[in-house]
Amino acid sequence: MREKHCVYCLALKPLSYFRLHAQTLDGYQHACKMCVAHRPSPVNGPQSFWDYVQKTSTCWPWLGAQRWQGYGVVRWTVHEKMRKVSTHRVAWFLTHGRWPSAGLCICHTCDNRLCCRPDHLFEGTTQDNRADAVSKGRQARGASINLARLHDDDIPLIRSLYRDEHVPQTHLAQRFGVTQGTIGKIVRRETWRHVS
């Protein structure tokens, strides 16, 4: 049975006590599930914040509490109110002395959600962040979306039936178990553009 040490309680525990995490070297979080759930996040200033950051030659991962999406989270005072804030935003604040401008995100150049290294962070719009994800192939599309009812093989058939055989969109929708609006977007190439 493989085991590892929890960075908080220092106990040697089986890997089943740790959540999976793709950005770590061994594929598991640094802290056991119990410590992640109950460990208080630092709230007493910059030094204790950086104490929870593991500074390596590449990324600087957050070792404290995490949101379910995989981002680090800490309770921090923002505009005189205590709030839960993503740790990469706090790292930006501590480095630049200001919060991101209104309507802007803090994006990662390294694609590591736990990274707090200041030179891996940049300010950008939501659209910039999405474009970055698409350019790096991280944006789920088509059949790779968990709830997709269609597959890549269905799309050319749908377009062909509509274009060549003049099958109404409503009939195609019933046949493939989707809405008429979905079929309309497919035949107009508003969606599933990556399939020819």
List, for residues 69-101, the tens digit of each pLDDT value.
788 888 887 777 778 889 999 999 999 988 888
Please indicate, yes or no, whether residues 69 and 121 belong to a single structural domain of this protein. yes
The count of C-alpha atoms lying within 13 angstroms of the C-alpha of 55, restricted to the half-sphere facing its C-beta, is: 7
Phi, psi of 50 (to 5 degrees): -70, -20
Please indicate, yes or no, whether residues 45 and 131 belong to a single structural domain of this protein. yes
Residue 191 pLDDT level (bands cut at 50, 70, 90): confident
The answer to the question of residue 192 being in a domain is: no
CA–CA dist 6, 72 (Å, integer):
17
**CB-based burial of residue 79 (10 Å sphere; 0-12 exposed, 13-18 middle, 19+ buried)?**
exposed
pLDDT at 139: 64
Please indicate, yes or no, whether residues 15 and 71 belong to a single structural domain of this protein. no
Residue 24's domain comprises 1-39
pLDDT at 40: 47
Please indicate, yes or no, whether residues 110 and 75 belong to a single structural domain of this protein. yes
Q: Both tokens of residue 1? A: 């049975």
* Residue 102, domain CATH: 3.90.75
The answer to the question of residue 148 being in a domain is: yes
Please indicate, yes or no, whether residues 48 and 35 belong to a single structural domain of this protein. no
Our measurement of the distance from residue 61's CA atom to the centroid of its chain's CA atoms, rounded to an integer in Å, reads 15
CA–CA dist 101, 93 (Å, integer):
11
Please indicate, yes or no, whether residues 105 and 46 belong to a single structural domain of this protein. yes
Task: Please write down the long-range contacts of 146-154, taking CB distance under 8 Å and 24 or more positions apart.
Answer: 149/176, 149/177, 149/178, 150/176, 150/178, 150/182, 150/186, 150/192, 152/192, 152/195
Our measurement of the distance from residue 164's CA atom to the centroid of its chain's CA atoms, rounded to an integer in Å, reads 41
pTM: 0.55
List, for residues 11-47, the tens digit of each pLDDT value.
778 877 777 766 666 666 667 776 666 554 545 677 7
pLDDT at 159: 92
More confident site: 61 or 5: 61
Please indicate, yes or no, whether residues 130 and 100 belong to a single structural domain of this protein. yes
Please indicate, yes or no, whether residues 127 and 154 belong to a single structural domain of this protein. no
Residue 38 belongs to what H/E stretch? helix 33-38
List, for residues 102-158, the tens digit of each pLDDT value.
889 999 988 888 999 999 999 999 888 888 877 777 665 565 555 567 888 888 899
Please indicate, yes or no, whether residues 175 and 160 belong to a single structural domain of this protein. yes
List, for residues 154-166, the tens digit of each pLDDT value.
888 999 899 999 9
How many domains does one find in the chain?
3
* Residue 162, domain CATH: 1.10.10
The answer to the question of residue 193 being in a domain is: no
| Termini Cα distance of the chain | 48
